[in-house]
Chain A
Amino acid sequence: MAGNIEPVSARREAGRGVAVALLVWAMLGGAMVATWAAMRRWWFPPLASSQGADIDRLFGIIFAVISVVFILVQATLGLALWRFGSRGESHRASHWHEHRGLEIGWTTITAVTLIALTVLGGSLWLRVHSAPPADARTVEVVAEQFGWRFHYPGPDGVLAAVDLTADRRGSPLGIRSDAPGAADDIVSRELVVEVNRPVRLLIRSKDVIHSFYVPNMRFKQDAVPGRVVEIWFTPVQAGTFPIACAELCGVGHYVMASTLKVVTPEEYQSWLASFARGAL
């Protein structure tokens, strides 16, 4: 019929199928090679927290599962294109469009896999958010456009109340000098913690939403004005690690950096001592 699809040569169409199959497989191969190459250059930064180890392990499990599915599906897609390109007028597609067994099979396998991932993921998530151990040290984290402040309770273990709306000279967090526990409190621009000692963070924001992100700890928590989020982690490697802001917070979002120093207990004590006078 005039204007209808041109009768294509069977050879040509089958050839196209092979070509597209090769293209799909090339994407598959490219993705695999790129991932393999990336693993040694652009992968997770070095791990430094105990929760992070669990997170990386779960990531590994999911990564394995989805890699298998990815390879199987892309390979099958290519195979279908390779094999079932049109082979001329005489040949006809099969009228095959239901298969109970297949359908029940792949639904069950998928569902079981995902339920397993849900159980694994749920239990880890609840562990990450469990109550902090008794020996955890407490630090209050205050975010503002565009920087971080870390508020330590000092030797008395009492965090003085902060008042972020107050503009008090000498105290960036608006701590009244006569507030209970205030005398020995410390406010720092970098976060210093002891190695192998859980640290409990009380995260809050002065203005807009920020996100406290420490890649090496696999740790991230939004700082939301109006609420205090309590969460903890345990650093297990000494060293200096970057802190970034992960939630868009304004023009200076990309410079909202700080540093996390994980030190030995002795170094920690001497760092505290350096604040002995006039910490606020």
Chain B
Amino acid sequence: MAVLEQDVRAAHEEQHRESLVRRYIFSQDHKVIGIQYLATSFLMALIGGVLAMVIRLELGWPGSVINQGSYLSTVTMHGTIMVFYVLSTALTGGFGNYLVPLQIGARDMAFPFLNMLSYWLYALSLIPLVAAFFAPGGAPMSGWTAYTPLSAVPQAAPGSGIGQSLWLLSLAILIVAFLFGSLNVITTVMQLRARGMSMMRMPLTVWGLFITAILSLLSFPVLLAAGIMLLFDRHLGTTFFLPAGSVIGGKVIAAGGGDPLLWQHLFWFLGHPEVYILILPGMGIVSDIIANNARKPVFGYPVMVLTMAVIAFLSFLVWGHHMFVSGMHPMLGTAFMATTLIIAVPSAIKTFNWLATMWRGKIRFTPQMLFAIGFVSVFVTGGLTGLMLGNPAVDMYLHDTYFVVAHFHFVMASASLFGVFAGLYHWFPKMFGRALDERLGRLHFWLALPTTYATFFPMHFAGLAGMPRRIYSTQLYGYLQGLEGLNRFISVAAFVLFVAHMIFAVNVVYSLAKGRRVAENPWQATTLEWTTSSPPPHGNWGEREVVVYRWAYDYSLPEAAQDFVPQNVPVEAPVTAVARQAGGQVAPATG
């Protein structure tokens, strides 16, 4: 442990002498890498968002903008980009890098070079991803889940040509980036915590990111392997996912012997943990933001940690709920139903704990708190419909309809995304020394919450009425004719939602230049990142040593003068005096 710490320090001293390029582009500083991850995810979100608008144009006004093939490519790339290249990267790469060392009192990640590599692999993975749009036949058309054989045989669809291979290549590179990143987070949390920072003193944000890293490390390799197997099927003549005796796009698969369901098992073995990879960091972030703004300790902290761990563990055992009607054995469906419904228990407990954290608090309605409140609201809405989908007989009707689309847009495109926004409003001042504009932030929220509901809630009805997902037009089916007005309404709401989120982009640009300058600890928070300057220097605390004396939630202690006591304030010291000048002074090192 001591050795690692010395290495990190040495690396830092070296870095001080380095050029601007090494400092801001090929940087090994976790803060720069975190911001690079966030900025790149942000750009990808713009692309993914524009694709979403194209989808909504098509569904609102069928046949108006693109043809059938491009529609499927658009859906595929929208889903892929949003899940893997926006939310995953922003939460684990962005917040993970930026916050973990700062919140545990480390000077950097355990492996700064690996960390730099992680970001640049992400950047590299964007080249084949974007190239897929320009491939002959177009971008892949098999959905973000890339079900075989559609994705395995070039004859199956125009987009299943070179575009699909580029997609797989890009994902493979990105997965390696994630693996480097999660190794780093795990090692950092295990090895580089400041003196006094026991695991049970860590803020929930760190817990969320730490558990997420474990999930990533254990589940992503499975998709990597599956992706490589699929590339083999596509280019080297293997048939892992191709059964004998089928004819695809005129091509006879005579040898075969593989099974398309193998792909689904491998995909969802990652795919389900992946959705929790997208929500656990948000849960951590939101817990901390609610505590900070309600000026109260998180309610049931040990239970909050435990439920995250339970969710993470169970998330390895539920993947089959995506496959109830796939033809796998019905008994398996029953088992997966049981695990799926059980996983709702820890999710519900977390929600109750957030409510109890606010209860009897003294709530400040900063933009980050508004988004945290929005997170709770939309997470509940999305989580509850999971209970319907988790019931296989009911899912038999709802699977692959817009009801599922509604479900996962509430938990991902709403809850996860609100988690990201909450985090950005909260930590932007730490990153750049300037706060995001509060009025624009409020406007963003006041537009985003209603339009989120207006966009995604009616999708439940389309699904209940039987509208399948990934269809180019609803006009072919007589029974879907009545949904035209509903789909148009959803589209219009989605356009406004897009505009709402664009306000955030404006806010970032404006605030980087003109935002209110802030001191060390503008939110009067307790965690360690607020005990250093905004933005923090290389090495995070300069020469000072960080020592932790208390947990992350000493808000509104009855005996303290101020309503917060930072983690580095000694317990035995007269709290009143120290807390007053705390605003972030680091306690002098002892011994």
Contact = CB atoms under 8 A, between A and B. Distances in A.
Residue among B244, B365, B366, B553 having the largest count of chain A Cβ atoms under 10 Å: B365
A250 B150 contact: yes
Given A27-B450, A209-B260, A84 B362 contact: yes
A122 B518 contact: no
B158 interface: yes
Given A4-B583, A251-B141, A253-B470, A114 B381 contact: no
B334 A62 contact: no
B245 A226 contact: yes
A84 B583 contact: no
Interface stretch (A13-21, A175-183, A270-278): A13-21
Interface residues of B, number: 125
B384 A97 contact: no
Contact of B341 (A77, A80, A118, A207): A118
Contacts of A257: 476-477
A51 B397 CA distance: 11
A134 interface: no
Nearest to A54: B393
A222 B243 contact: no
B378 to A, nearest CB: 9
Contacts of A129: 330, 333
Interface stretch (A98-106, A151-159, A190-198, A261-269): A98-106
B299 to A, nearest CB: 5
B377 A24 contact: yes
Contact of A81 (B357, B363, B460, B477): B363
Contacts of A35: 461
B1 interface: no
Contact of A58 (B68, B364, B373, B391): B391
A31 B86 CA distance: 28
Given A114-B341, A247-B147, A253-B471, A1 B363 contact: no
B66 to A, nearest CB: 12
A215 B449 contact: no
Given A17-B365, A42-B461, A165-B246, A4 B360 contact: no
A44 B464 contact: yes
A226 B396 contact: no
A84 B556 CA distance: 14
Given A13-B365, A84-B294, A208-B248, A107 B349 contact: yes
B15 interface: no
A93 B360 contact: yes
A218 B396 contact: yes
B243 A227 contact: yes
Which of A2, A5, A111 counts the most B-chain CB atoms under 10 A from its CB? A5
Interface stretch (B102-110, B174-182, B209-217, B520-528): B520-528
A45 B358 contact: no
Interface string B336-370: 01100110110011011001111111111110001
Given A117-B387, A205-B246, A224-B261, 4 more contacts: A58-B394, A59-B397, A84-B294, A207-B246
8 contacts: A13-B365, A55-B394, A125-B334, A126-B330, A208-B149, A213-B468, A215-B397, A220-B325
